[in-house]
């Protein structure tokens, strides 16, 4: 039961004079309370958290033992999803080393096939064993000059191929200092969204550029403000589906700060770089997602 729904129900019932004070046994009374409002708020129920690791350009076959260790430990942790985006060369061996665990890619092209030297299509990475792909990471937006329009095409193609698309957004230090962080990030969300998606096909990762690999994390208040703004933008663009799209936080997430970050409203998971490389660092983050 989402906390939001619970509180709404309680206040609706109390307003109607029913005064029921516990969370069990009031479903039969919904019809007598403020039902449309309650049904509307049900779309805001807590989403199952997703903790995804991004190995970036790290890892060789020698690191497959960590993939196995992470998948074995993660399978024993209920109520949270976990995943690892490995370098493309490791997708197939990681998939083999961790049966049933969600392995992903860090980029894809938007075309199915063709003259795009060095690129991989969503179908190719899916065939290799990927179930998701990260698109629009700030390192690619910077290093490869990727635009939000291209990111949207990649997300679209990934979803068409049956992959979960994790779309990354985030402001630079200078943009935050100039007071433009929310406008920049919500603009990136708007321009990077695929044409259509349901809640299982799309996630957004908010990663402030200045927090990536620096040991600095955004304050809880800044994360809450940004995730709330991203949620509003998603609902504006996608309607009710926008309530079901998970919004992950990324940027120097580690065991010591994960619990605080993961319990901020509208933080539905994390995208973890450096601390996802070793099971000993990553598993405590997955555990921190459990309420
Ligand atoms: P770090 O967790 O190493 O800061 O990286 C975050 C990131 O970029 C994940 O995509």
The pair of three-digit structure tokens given for residue 58, joined into one six-digit string: 């790290």
> Does the CB atom of residue 274 touch ligand 1 within 6 A?
yes
pLDDT at 25: 29
Structural domain harbouring 13 = 3-40
Domain shared by 222 and 256, yes or no: yes
Domain shared by 220 and 143, yes or no: yes
pLDDT at 44: 60
Ligand 1 centroid – CA 139 distance (Å): 10
- pLDDT single digits (tens) 101-124: 999 999 999 999 999 999 999 999
Instruction: Determine the atom of ligand 1 nearest the C-alpha atom of 212.
Output: 4
> Does the CB atom of residue 251 touch ligand 1 within 6 A?
yes
Residue 227 catalytic? no
Give the Cα separation of 79 and 72 in Å (integer).
15
* H helices present in the chain, as ranges: 3-15, 35-42, 64-75, 91-97, 122-128, 138-143, 148-160, 173-177, 181-192, 220-238, 255-262, 279-288
H or E stretch at 84: strand 80-85
- pLDDT single digits (tens) 197-255: 999 999 999 999 999 999 998 999 999 999 999 999 999 999 999 999 999 999 999 99
Ligand 1 centroid – CA 1 distance (Å): 31
> Does the CB atom of residue 253 touch ligand 1 within 6 A?
yes
Give the Cα separation of 79 and 150 in Å (integer).
34
Domain shared by 139 and 24, yes or no: no
Domain shared by 28 and 117, yes or no: no
pLDDT at 12: 35
Domain shared by 85 and 13, yes or no: no
Ligand 1 centroid – CA 72 distance (Å): 23
Residue pLDDT tens, the chain, 291 long = 333 333 333 333 333 333 332 333 233 333 333 444 444 444 567 899 999 999 999 999 999 999 999 999 999 999 999 999 999 999 999 999 999 999 999 999 999 999 999 999 999 999 999 999 999 999 999 999 999 999 999 999 999 999 999 999 999 999 999 999 999 999 999 999 999 899 999 999 999 999 999 999 899 999 999 999 999 999 999 999 999 999 999 999 999 999 999 999 999 999 999 999 999 999 999 999 996
CATH number for position 254: 3.20.20.70
Kindly name the residue from 66, 81, 109, 137 that is annotated as catalytic: 137
Domain shared by 22 and 58, yes or no: no
Q: How many domains does the chain have?
A: 2
């Amino acid at each position: 039961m989402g906390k939001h729904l619970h509180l709404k129900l309680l206040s609706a019932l109390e307003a109607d004079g029913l005064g029921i004070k516990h969370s069990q046994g009031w479903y039969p009374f919904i019809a007598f309370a403020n039902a449309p409002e309650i049904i509307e708020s049900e779309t805001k129920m807590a989403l199952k958290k997703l903790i995804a690791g991004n190995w970036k350009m790290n890892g060789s076959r020698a690191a497959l033992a960590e993939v196995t260790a992470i998948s074995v430990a993660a399978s024993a942790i209920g109520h949270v999803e976990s995943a690892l985006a490995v370098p493309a060369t490791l997708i197939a061996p990681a998939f083999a080393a961790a049966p049933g665990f969600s392995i992903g890619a860090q980029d894809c092209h938007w075309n199915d096939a063709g003259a795009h030297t060095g690129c991989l299509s969503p179908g190719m990475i899916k065939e290799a064993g990927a179930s998701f792909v990260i698109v629009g990471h700030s390192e690619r937006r910077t290093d490869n000059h990727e635009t939000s329009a291209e990111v949207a095409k990649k997300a679209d193609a990934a979803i068409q191929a049956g992959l979960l698309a994790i779309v990354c957004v985030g402001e630079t230090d200078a943009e935050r200092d100039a007071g433009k962080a929310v406008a920049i990030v919500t603009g990136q969300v708007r321009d990077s969204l695929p044409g259509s998606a349901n809640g299982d096909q799309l996630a957004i990762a908010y990663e402030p550029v200045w927090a990536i690999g620096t040991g600095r994390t955004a304050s809880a208040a800044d994360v809450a403000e940004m995730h709330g703004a991203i949620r509003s933008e998603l609902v504006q663009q996608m309607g009710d589906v926008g309530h079901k799209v998970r919004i992950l936080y990324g940027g120097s997430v580690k065991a010591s700060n994960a619990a605080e970050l993961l319990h901020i409203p509208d933080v539905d998971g994390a995208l973890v770089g450096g601390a996802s490389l070793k099971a000993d660092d990553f598993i405590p983050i997955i555990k921190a997602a459990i309420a």
